[in-house]
Amino acid sequence: MPAGSAAAKVESKLKKEYPGNKHAIYGTLNKAGLMHGNKVTAKGKKPARRLNFKKSATPSIAMG
């Protein structure tokens, strides 16, 4: 698995959460579309992205 990829990041988190349960780890990766069988997909090869959301001063709630 490519280091720094989305699949590698999720795999490391799942290994901590489910130690010794390969079916839970790789089944989740397959369902998320990061892997297909034992092959990493294009989606899984993309670099893991950070989600940085800026907090706005005004809420974006539609008033109607």
**22-32 vs 6-17: helix crossing angle, rounded to 10:** 150
What residue ranges do the domains of the chain occupy? Answer: 6-45
From start to end of 1-64, where are the E strands?
A: 35-36, 39-40
pTM of the model: 0.67
Contacts of 2 (CB under 8 A, 6+ apart): 8, 40, 45
pLDDT in tens, the chain (64 residues): 777 788 888 999 999 999 999 999 999 999 999 999 889 998 888 887 765 556 655 555 655 5
